[in-house]
Amino acid sequence: MKTSEVELHSWVMRSGAVHSFQLQTITASNFEDLRHRFRFVPLGTTSAKHAIKFGRREKKLRQRCKTNCSSKVQRLEEMLSLDKVALRKTCLASEMLLPSL
């Protein structure tokens, strides 16, 4: 994935089970367009290592989850070890800028 791309994970839950799941890689400009049409709330930031681990476990969960999926998805989200989003005028050297947050 290029740095100007965003990975968008969409889950639809019905009656405690995953009804549909969609994973898209979109350009940063397409993501900006979506942000203007829909309300996105940043959950936090994570490391590339945690994101890769999340992707592997997400794939397994999607294939196996038939009941009580909402709690399993919540545990999967916790596995990301999210850090709080910090809004600053400039980014630290280790951070990447997302325009107009």
Does residue 43 fall inside a structural domain?
yes
pLDDT of residue 16: 73
Query: Which of 40, 58, 53 lies closest to 100, judged by CA?
Result: 40
Does residue 44 fall inside a structural domain?
yes
pLDDT tens-place string over residues 19-30: 777 888 888 888
Does residue 62 fall inside a structural domain?
yes
Does residue 9 fall inside a structural domain?
yes
Residue 69's domain comprises: 5-78
Please calculate the CA angle 86-91-97 and round it to the nearest 5 degrees. Answer: 90
pLDDT tens-place string over residues 56-94: 888 888 777 777 777 888 888 888 888 887 666 676 776
Helix (H) or strand (E) holding 18: strand 17-27
The pTM of the whole model exceeds 0.85: no
- What's the total number of domains in the chain? 1
